[in-house]
Amino acid sequence: MTAAASRRAIRAGARRVARTAVVACLAACLDAAVAGAQRPAARARPTKADTAAVLAALQSFLDAIERRDSTLARSVLMPESVIASAAVDGGPPRPPRVRAGLDDARRIAQLEGAMLERIWSPTVLIEGPMAVVWAPYDFHVDGRFTHCGVDTATLFHDGKGWRMLSLAYTMQPSGCPPTPLPPPPGRR
């Protein structure tokens, strides 16, 4: 074996030893972390009142749209809030339209037509000061169905009440699943 070949073999062996040592060290650290880990303290399950309060905050935002009430909308939104919408129309997926929540709140007063957004069968998950709501919805303007979709809202409790950090929703103009809700007033 030449001197160069010998040096390459020594370096390759040293790299194998170093990799083995790193893997062994990581495994030992993981074992220690798992062995020393304590189970988190049992958390109180959210109550029906907690769930109702979260849904009431989301409903307040939907009511703000219906009433064209920018002040009510702003009261439910956190200053950093974002709103994102994505079309579901059978075409290729497109990036969502994302905007500042407070900008949308300001525009609510300028909307035209009688708007009504209704959610049903919401799934609400709450962990400490954070809540997530997932719910199908339908949307009507002047009593006429325009689209359906799914709303997903993330809310945080700020010590005074639940406020929305984000609202993301899909918009599907046709092929919607049937709603369990009665027809809206003034439906055409």
162-187 pLDDT, tens per residue?
Answer: 999 999 999 999 999 989 999 887 66
CATH number of the domain that residue 122 is part of: 3.10.450.50
Please identify which residue in the block is written with the tokens 């009431």.
Answer: 56
Residues 67 and 4 in one domain: no
- Give the pTM: 0.74
pLDDT tens string 91-121: 888 899 999 999 999 999 898 899 999 999 9
**186 in a domain, yes or no?**
no
**177 in a domain, yes or no?**
no
**188 in a domain, yes or no?**
no
Residues 78 and 131 in one domain: yes
Task: Quote the domain boundaries for residue 67.
Answer: 48-171
**183 in a domain, yes or no?**
no
Residues 83 and 162 in one domain: yes
Residues 78 and 164 in one domain: yes
Per the structure, the count of domains in the chain is 2
Residues 1 and 26 in one domain: yes
Q: What is the mean pLDDT of residues 23-45?
A: 42
Reference 91, options 169, 174, 150, 177; nearest CA is 174
**70 in a domain, yes or no?**
yes
